[in-house]
Amino acid sequence: MVIELNRPALKHARSLVRAGKVVRDERDDWSEAAPGADDENRFIEEHGWTEFSHWHLGVDRGEDSETKKAYTFPFGDFRSVHRSGVISGESRAGQYDHTEIRDELRKLLELIDSTDE
């Protein structure tokens, strides 16, 4: 299992932040804000796997791209980027030595905080 940075997802996340589609919540809020399995299934059914992948900064190219197992480091709720999701992902990426993903999540957090309303 080799988790890589999902560059299209990073571009999508940055675009959302610049458009103001951000929930400025706190770190511990992610457990409540993160989409559940039913939300994910509904989103995939309505929008497809490519759009689903754009909400995850990690991708495992060794997995079938049409399975949830292929995608890690979610950062939003399919509508907005959640600051809590970015913080949570940065922490997890650091724990598991996914340095490129960790660093990009840190930059995304800086972008969120620099555009604070």
Looking at residue 116, its pLDDT comes to 61
Contact assessment for residue 3 and residue 56, using Cβ atoms and an 8 Å cutoff:
no
Mean pLDDT (the chain) is: 95
pLDDT in tens, 17-56: 999 999 999 888 999 999 999 999 999 999 999 999 999 9
pLDDT in tens, 87-102: 999 999 999 999 999 9
Percent of the chain with pLDDT over 90: 93
pLDDT band per the 50, 70, 90 thresholds, residue 115: confident
Alpha carbon dihedral 78, 84, 85, 87, in 10-degree steps, equals 150
Q: CA 114, CA 64: separation in Å to the nearest integer?
A: 37
Q: CA 36, CA 2: separation in Å to the nearest integer?
A: 24
For the chain, the structural domain boundaries read: 3-114
pTM of the complete model: 0.94
